[in-house]
Amino acid sequence: MAAKKSKPARRAKTKAEEEKPKPSWWWALVAVVVAVAVGYVAFLKGSSAPSHVMSYSNREPLVPFPLPPLHDLPSHPLYEEDTEKVREIRTAFAKSWNAYKRHAWGYDEFHPLSKSGSNLLGKDDAPLGYTMVDALDMLILLGMKEEYVEAREWIRTTLHWDIDGRLNVFETTIRVLGGLLSASALMLDPPAGALPRSLDDAQLFLDKAATLAERMLPAFQTPSGIPKREINLATGEAFFDTDNRNASSLAEATTIQLEFKYLAERLHNATYWSLAERPMQVALDHSKPPEPGVLPIFVDPISGQFYAGEVRLGSRGDSYYEYLVKQYLQTNRTEDVYRAMYEHAFSGIKAFLLGKVTSVTPPLVHTLEMFPRQTMMMELEWLRRTKQDHLVCFLGGTMMTGAAAQTYGPLTPPMAVPGIPAARWEDWQVGHELIRSCVDTYTASATGLGAEIVFFNPPGYSEPNGRAWRVKRANRALDPYAEALIDSRNILRPETIESLYIAFQLTGDPVYREWGWTIFQSFQRWCQVDGGDGGYAGIDDVDSVDHQQIDRMETFWLSETLKYFYLLFTKRDLLPFHQWVLNTEAHPLPVFTPTFLTHVE
């Protein structure tokens, strides 16, 4: 009986509690949630955009700097190969490859200090071919026949996709799928100086690529078409990014298009074309005018809605912007939607995400990151910080490419074409200045190498050493055993060299080669292991000559950094821009006019 009597009492107490006013902290929490949602919607709808933001066609020049000179004659001596420098670059590649061959053959990654190899999944019998496939097109371009044959036979006999473990969809696409497709394309139509044509080899690489792509399809089976982050190639199971609320990142979802579109064209397979287009439709839906054109770095793969959060051009955002203009070029400028998306996105970049350090002469243009913060009045405001990843250094070359990409014909700098919109002039100028700033992060460091992350000086602040930027570093004066921060590292990244190559291709201005060679010599001085015979390694602190080398030779050292150095100093027309587009891992893919076309509306 006592138990029965107690039940009404408990029910009455609960009802009374429900009728009590909510505590103040509860309403504050509700206000925060509502403010974040409302503020983010306002951001996407463009209501937070400053009033000076103009359409792409009528913007006033933002950064009126002097333009670099233009040399537009194909026979100009500046376009010829610099034989001595090319020889040194080829030697650096050969030493790097041979060190990998001696100590880590067949493994995904090479560790030059310990002279060992490892696979991504930690299993000796489950390589994905990260280094082997990533460097394959460079072996073809350099005409390294013996090394190429050895790599080809390893791919033929050893590489398979029954790999039981979680692999990143984006990295697998740009490195392995892209590497195989590029090798296939180059063996179909090799440029001068490369290995001779082989239809059998081209088919081998295409077949491997097609099988890999088929294994990756389950990752794209989401309501929005935004792929999940990881895939098990053996089981077909796909996985969300649980560390980030099951979100997919902007860059990872929208940097698979060049690879899958080219595969679709080669196989006449509409499925691959469609899965490449669906993530772009999500991006388009959230970036149409009057929305600002720049997007947050995380998107929900179920709903296709972007999360309120950081907007940045570095990690998790970068290659979305890169692939807008490259998609336009890849399909022979038949998809005007990507030209329009590029123009709108870069108008947003110039309006929201650029800064300038005026305490140095000449001033340095740099990028910003934007992030939301709750105010004391429970309102959402968007703040900017002067942080710039090294990854952002692709942007200068991309902006110059976009400015030079007309509706037909070779890419032509805007000063050579009458009637170009002011915004394209602006892209060209800003692109050049961003390259100059990225080069400064190399040449003004203690080692002549650029850091993983720098912070440019905010207005009114000057570094004691007179530099325009600073790097977060471990304080070894207080702790001689302190590990260097990730920010201060150089891990052999390619983005600055990529932009120098693009700028030189478009202008012939020798300053880009001069800057590039200065950087190459810094790599030679600090990153060689055993004089280069042991490969190359990154360093843990670019602002200290007492740094330590890092026991990893990243695969992009072979596939990107050395390739861009080679392309910067070899003959200008090796891979003409109107015939080839390089994916974000620097794998050349042919420009083509689609035989079937299904694109975002």
Give φ, ψ of 366 to 5 degrees: -145, 170
CA distance 518 to 537: 18
Residue 495 catalytic? yes
CA distance 138 to 179: 10
**Catalytic one among 252, 259, 291, 318?**
318
Of 248, 375, 310, nearest to 40 by C-alpha is 310
* The dihedral sign for the CA sequence 503, 176, 589, 335: negative
**Catalytic one among 109, 252, 440, 495?**
495
Residue 452 catalytic? yes
CA distance 268 to 278: 18
Helix axes 422-443, 495-507, angle to 10 degrees: 130
Residue 84 catalytic? no
Which DSSP letter does residue 173 get? Answer: I
CA distance 50 to 525: 47
Residue 171 catalytic? yes
**Catalytic one among 300, 426, 452, 560?**
452
* Burial of 6 (C-beta count, 10 Å sphere; 0-12/13-18/19+): exposed
State how far the alpha carbon of 229 is from the alpha carbons of 168, 285, 302, 357, in Å.
6, 21, 13, 37
C-alpha of 598 from chain center: 25
Of 323, 195, 208, nearest to 266 by C-alpha is 208
Q: Who's near 61: CB < 8 A, 6+ residues apart?
A: 422, 425, 426, 429
**Catalytic one among 82, 88, 171, 285?**
171
| Residue-by-residue DSSP string for 6-39 | HHHHHHHHHHHHHHSPPPHHHHHHHHHHHHHHHH
Of 418, 421, 387, 389, nearest to 403 by C-alpha is 421
Locus of tokens 């090479």: 110
- Both tokens of 265, joined, read 């064209």
CA distance 368 to 105: 41
Of 117, 137, 71, nearest to 504 by C-alpha is 71
Check if the beta carbon of residue 470 is closer than 8 Å to that of residue 457: yes
584 is in an annotated binding site: yes
Q: Where are the beta strands (DSSP E) in 375-515?
A: 380-385, 387-389, 453-456, 469-470
Known binding residues are 584
Known binding residues for Ca(2+) are 584
Q: Report, as residue numbers or ranges, the catalytic residues.
A: 171, 318, 452, 495
